[in-house]
Structure 1
């Protein structure tokens, strides 16, 4: 049980770090006139043709119906991006987890949802990154070794996704849904357990440590035992890093192995590499938080860019209109969500995070029986599958929609206070 607990803490640390990165990218884009103009230039033609209804080619290959371009799907992508942004900005963790499941629930095929999510992350990284501010913390050796591994991992993950899809599109949907159900279920039920414990402790008047997300924001105060043991293994070439913190050395092999895992998960799930990079760098490799942040800026561009373009876009598995909708919605949602945290109790925020993650789990888990039935791996009636899927969709959209309405309501209710403060 302690190992599962540690895994949960590592995943939460990664989710929190990913949320911080998302907020930084949003700030860099929306608070810079040139970047904002570029965003408007990219979105204007898409928004225009969306209402003219004559842009099938913008949506990718129409052969993958019902994922072909429609105005409704584009608007839905903005809504999905907005919801993910609200979760990321308000809760500070986990918003990106619902993008692919939400797109799939809206009718987008799984492989397109993953490729599109990955491309939207790449677009956000390119537009929002301010590298010169972080160059002092970048370790080129770590970045190069990591990218070598992540490219191999992304290639493997993309190949797995395409192979399964080409074999049977239903199997692809089942595979992606099962992966998300396992991860969201693990995070959701562990988060629920923590929330219940914390609620009971507060009712008893016990002061709990940490904030609404735990105490993993800054990483460990000292290098973990695992990291120290890994750094003792001498497999050349060795990489020197953290010279400003006393200096450490590590074999390139372990850095590349971590990169492989990040690239694999990024390509399979469509999530940002930073979600896994942070805990691997800090807890497994023993890299300081400042060096991790600086180095990750370089790797996430290469990993997300390589994965989204070489493994999905060139095969027609990126839905460009949806990617732009996701980008627009998430940028706005993150800003609104971040402001809302100033007027909403931390326990309420934590409760909503658990709710949305469990709703995502319910949604993906609910479609698995029907996929297994279609693959003739489970003898269950179609009627029963339809009912289960309907319940999963209702739970998901009710939870995410309810959360979005609540956050937006809190935001507009306190809009006057935000303006006076600004």
Structure 2
């Protein structure tokens, strides 16, 4: 139980680190007129494409129902992508923990195939990173040796994850969706249970809580053991923070990178939610150095995965990525401002609820997928009923959170302006 709670604390701390990067990146875009114009130019084709589809003027080969493309695009899906991005941004900005975990389940619930949801989410992260990154301000924090070793491993992991996802899809698209759903059920189920348990304990104790929580403590055991193994090449780091600095084998750094890259390519996330705990709690790298290195790995991992493993195979919806980017930029700004007027304990409760909503959504979708694969024998009516329960429950929970945050923002708008 203690090991599970410690793992949850590590994951929550990493989600906070990713959220800080996401918030900084989004605000960097919003505060730059030049970047906003670039974003508008990128989004304009998506908007025009939506209008053309609505007018039913596209030939079949470009987007009709008989097109070879593995999904059928509609203007409604574009609007849904904006709402999904908005909710993810609200979660990231308001809770202070990455909201990207809801994007792939949400897209799959909207009718997007799992492999397309994964590829599109990665491209959305990459586009945001390229447009808004302030990496030049963080270069002093980066250990070049750690970054190189990590990115070598990350590249291998991304390639492996992408190959597996594509192989499963080519073998059976339903198997691909099932595999991705199972990954989300296991991860979100674990995190959701601990998040809700943490919220209930804080509420029972009567503490107001910090909206973004406190940092998890790192142990010295495992990092000390790994740093004591003199397996070449040994990479120095944290020379400015510790007298004489520290050293660790590049093999361990590359292995961590491989795990992060693999999970990023499988789940459609930037990998930041895993990089932080691995660097701090496993390798023993300082948070100061981890932040700068994490920014580089997000750009590389998301870019390499989205382009080489998904885009060139046609598994990215450009229009959906632009919709999510537009929605998330607005949501993250509103969410960040709302934390100033809402008690932190309630925000942590919504964080747990959002995770559990994603867990229930993918869990209730599994019976239908397993029936299609002839592993279970349920009637189509039962499968559809369970899937709809998962979909409605998910969108009601996330939608309620979104309306609540926006309502709190509007209600306290005058006070926020004065602040």
TM-score, normalization by structure 1? 0.94
Q: Partner of 2:240: helix, strand, or coil?
A: helix
Deviation of 1:80 after TM superposition, in Å, equals 0.4
CA contact (8 A) 2:123 2:306 kept: yes
Deviation of 1:55 after TM superposition, in Å, equals 6.1
CA contact (8 A) 2:119 2:310 kept: yes
Deviation of 1:312 after TM superposition, in Å, equals 0.5
Deviation of 1:211 after TM superposition, in Å, equals 2.4
The equivalent position to 1:113 in structure 2, one of 89, 93, 117, is 117
Note the alpha carbon deviations across 1:261-287, whole angstroms, 9 max, x for none.
Answer: 000000000011111101111111111
Q: Distance in 1 between matches of 2:20 and 2:322?
A: 21
- Aligned twin of 1:90: 94
Q: Distance in 1 between matches of 2:49 and 2:371?
A: 39
CA contact (8 A) 1:158 1:307 kept: yes
Q: Partner of 1:249: helix, strand, or coil?
A: strand
Alignment gaps of 5+ in structure 2: none
Task: Extract structure 1 runs of 4+ deviating beyond 4 A.
Answer: 54-59
Q: Would the alpha carbon gap of residues 126 and 62 (structure 1) be closer, same or farther in structure 2, given more than 3 Å must change?
A: farther
Q: Distance in 2 between matches of 1:55 and 1:324?
A: 20
- Aligned twin of 1:190: 194
Q: Distance in 2 between matches of 1:84 and 1:125?
A: 16
Q: Distance in 1 between matches of 2:191 and 2:10?
A: 11
Give the total of aligned pairs: 412
Q: What does 1:199-348 align with in structure 2 at a 5 Å threshold?
A: 199-202=203-206, 207=207, 211-216=210-215, 220=217, 224-246=220-242, 247-348=245-346
Note the alpha carbon deviations across 1:316-371, whole angstroms, 9 max, x for none.
Answer: 00110001111111111000000111111111111111111111111100010111
Q: Distance in 2 between matches of 1:225 and 1:166?
A: 44
Q: Distance in 1 between matches of 2:299 and 2:211?
A: 30
Question: Does 2:72 correspond to 1:73?
Answer: no
Q: Distance in 1 between matches of 2:63 and 2:10?
A: 39
- Aligned twin of 2:44: 44
Q: Would the alpha carbon gap of residues 32 and 274 (structure 1) be closer, same or farther in structure 2, given more than 3 Å must change?
A: same
Note the alpha carbon deviations across 1:112-169, whole angstroms, 9 max, x for none.
Answer: 0000001100111111112221111111111100000000000000011011111100
- Aligned twin of 1:103: 107
CA contact (8 A) 2:211 2:343 kept: no
Alignment gaps of 5+ in structure 1: none
Q: Would the alpha carbon gap of residues 240 and 347 (structure 1) be closer, same or farther in structure 2, given more than 3 Å must change?
A: same
Q: Distance in 2 between matches of 1:19 and 1:64?
A: 33
Question: Does 2:134 correspond to 1:141?
Answer: no
Deviation of 1:244 after TM superposition, in Å, equals 0.3
Q: Distance in 2 between matches of 1:320 and 1:273?
A: 21
Q: Distance in 2 between matches of 1:94 and 1:163?
A: 29
Question: Does 2:21 correspond to 1:17?
Answer: no
Q: Distance in 1 between matches of 2:361 and 2:15?
A: 20
- Aligned twin of 1:152: 156
Note the alpha carbon deviations across 1:243-271, whole angstroms, 9 max, x for none.
Answer: 10120001100000000000000000001
CA contact (8 A) 1:62 1:69 kept: no
- Aligned twin of 1:368: 366
Deviation of 1:301 after TM superposition, in Å, equals 1.0
CA contact (8 A) 1:58 1:321 kept: no
Q: Distance in 1 between matches of 2:198 and 2:67?
A: 45
